[in-house]
Amino acid sequence: SPSLAIYLHPTDLTPIADPYTFPMGATRIYWVATDEAGNRGTKAQNVVVADTIAPAIAAIADFTVEANSPLGSTVSLPEPVVTDVADNDPLVLDDAPATFALATTPVTVTATDASGNESTESYAVTVVDTTAPVFALASGGRLPATATGFMVGPAILPTPTVTDNGY
């Protein structure tokens, strides 16, 4: 039976070693069969290596933050961990708002590699308000008052200053 070898050029007598590794894209190879009498037959073939595997995004856990404004909160988002078989630097984007409302907001991370393969991973950011309002107290720990002495008629009380979550 004839021996079989693969070459990158029909006149190159150095066969490609098994396992065969080809770069991304098209590579032309040549199958060469040689019989016991030394007769050779050659057939060309194109080997196309294409990236069809989407990037992998590690799961991101849902989390909760405290509101820091009446509109909700600005949030430091976790950095997604993304890997890809062929692209060392896939494009990673998310749809997170600049400010998260007092609610649960879904965030979707999308990773796209150089071949156009895309994957998504979602998590939720919940903004809560668990901080009680704080009164600005006068010295002695009392609310400020301006009325002194005997009063006739309805009392006029000053409105205390109150803040909640820094606003």
- Average pLDDT, 10 consecutive residues per value, the chain (167 residues): 84 82 91 92 94 98 93 94 96 97 97 98 96 76 61 66 71
| pLDDT value of position 161 | 77
Query: Smallest Cα–Cα separation from 122: which of 75, 53, 58, 54?
Result: 58
C-alpha distances (whole Å) from 75 to each of 65, 78, 105 are 8, 9, 11
| pLDDT value of position 13 | 73
Bridge partners (DSSP) of residue 128 are: 66
| pLDDT value of position 107 | 98
Render pLDDT for 28-69 as a digit per residue (tens, 0 to 9). Answer: 999 999 999 999 999 999 999 999 999 999 999 999 999 988
| pLDDT value of position 139 | 66
Bridge partners (DSSP) of residue 94 are: 109
